[in-house]
Amino acid sequence: MKIIILGAGQVGGSVAQNLASEANDITVVDGNYRILQELQDRLDLRTVVGNATYPAVLMEAGADDADMIIAVTSSDEANMVACQVADTLFHTPTKIARVRAVEYLSYPQLFSAESLPIDVLISPEQLVTQYIKRLIEHPGALQVLDFAGGKVRLVGVRAYFGGPLVGHELRTLRDHMPGIHARVAAIFRRGKPIIPEGDTLIEAGDEVFFIAARKNIRAVMSELRRLDKPVKRIMLAGGGNIGKRLAQALETKYQVKIIEHNTARARQVSEELNKTIVLLGDAADEELLLEENIENTDVFCGLTNDDEANILSAMLAKRLGARMVMSLINRPAYVDLVQGSEDIDIAVSPQQATIGSLLAHIRRGDVVNVHSLRRGAAEAIEAIAHGDSASSKVVGRAVQDVPLPPGTTIGAIVRGDDVLMAHHDTVVEAEDHVILFLVDKRRIGDVERLFQVGVTFL
């Protein structure tokens, strides 16, 4: 696929990295020559220096035959104009733009084909906010991902001693919880993937990914670890866009405190929020944390735009007694570093939260949802099966007969409003949403081919 990425910032760079590794033709446009040079040294892509909204620059980047344009410059306005230019002059089929300001997002009619022709809006802040919100709703989960409009969720949990299922074979899951359907999609043991079978033993320390209907998630999690008490008190470090939005989303159900060090910003945030307590100060200030009862806090989130500050303040909070600490981390290298440590429970990577919504549009076949897992090495996708048993390799076949590439499991099938856990004899029907888990992203091409309706397939 020919893709033009506008803006080589954090999002642009990581999108480029993700897409370039999948044999796409990538061209990156940015005004900064040095950033581009660095990107070109590292990845197999072309770069163009210039203003991303100018037609001549887009032309030079090959807009006339591009399949997709992804506008992720730091300016909302530039992103919108670039999509407009691409649509009017080059008729680019798919246009994706990052728009952050709620002031635009609250008027969806702005983004129709007649006005601002943007097919997909991505708002990393919004995605990250939702991502953290889901984690707070399910304390103890490492990752919570929505499929089929939230009917099904994929949850990553670390198994601990004390969980009834730990030390037992997977097949006993059904005996433990009669009436509750769940399916373990993959297990990562010391970073290595294991394809779960009925006789796989779950060990303490395993990272278990399971798929279940939304209402059953708590029950399944309780099988894998002693369940954490529901969250009540939350402390957020950093009153930026993400901190403020998160507080807005959480303040009605939880007790939320925000620590912000900038006086003006703290004041502004306090005016916009109703029940949240806004504290002026440094998130890494031990005195302040103790004074604000950090030892009784259920969740502490480091959400400033400084990775190091987030990591250190979260570690401090953990030492001082916070039950669960999370930290927002942009740098991929830090994510790995922190994920393995004991001081920080969850590292949230904005890129990983964002990249999934882009990948869904790049996949061939009718793929509605993609979630990138484990720094992009694994992937969970939701694809719709089309056609009939003659034209599709999926429809009309039982799960065990679908020619899945190695390392791939079908986790669940959503048919209309019903959620079916995939058993080996479940038959896939047309228009089913199939949720698959790939432990190795390199197999993605094979999976895409499965879901393409073949003309020549007999």
Contact residues toward another protein (CB under 8 A) are 2, 25-27, 33, 40-46, 62
Q: How far is the CB of 337 from another protein (least distance, A)?
A: 21
What residues have CB less than 8 Å from 233, skipping those under 6 apart? 254, 255, 257, 293, 296, 297, 298, 299
| Cα–Cα distance list, 77 to 8, 71, 116, 453 (Å) | 16, 10, 11, 39
Instruction: Identify which of residues 46 and 189 has a Cβ nearer to another protein in the complex.
Output: 46
What residues have CB less than 8 Å from 402, skipping those under 6 apart? 393, 394, 410, 428, 450
Instruction: Identify which of residues 44 and 169 has a Cβ nearer to another protein in the complex.
Output: 44
- According to DSSP, residue 323 is labeled S
Q: How far is the CB of 217 from another protein (least distance, A)?
A: 40
Instruction: Identify which of residues 51 and 389 has a Cβ nearer to another protein in the complex.
Output: 51
Q: How far is the CB of 317 from another protein (least distance, A)?
A: 38
What are residue 420's phi and psi, to 5 degrees? -110, 125
Instruction: Identify which of residues 41 and 287 has a Cβ nearer to another protein in the complex.
Output: 41
Instruction: Identify which of residues 1 and 195 has a Cβ nearer to another protein in the complex.
Output: 1
How far apart are alpha carbons 147 and 217 in whole angstroms? Answer: 13
Instruction: Identify which of residues 44 and 295 has a Cβ nearer to another protein in the complex.
Output: 44
Q: How far is the CB of 22 from another protein (least distance, A)?
A: 12
Structure tokens at 289: 């944390």
What residues have CB less than 8 Å from 36, skipping those under 6 apart? 8, 28, 30, 47, 48, 49
Instruction: Identify which of residues 424 and 442 has a Cβ nearer to another protein in the complex.
Output: 442
Helix (H) or strand (E) holding 236: strand 233-237
Q: How far is the CB of 259 from another protein (least distance, A)?
A: 41
Q: How far is the CB of 222 from another protein (least distance, A)?
A: 43
Structure tokens at 43: 């990845």
Q: How far is the CB of 3 from another protein (least distance, A)?
A: 9
What residues have CB less than 8 Å from 270, skipping those under 6 apart? 276, 278
How far apart are alpha carbons 297 and 289 in whole angstroms? Answer: 10
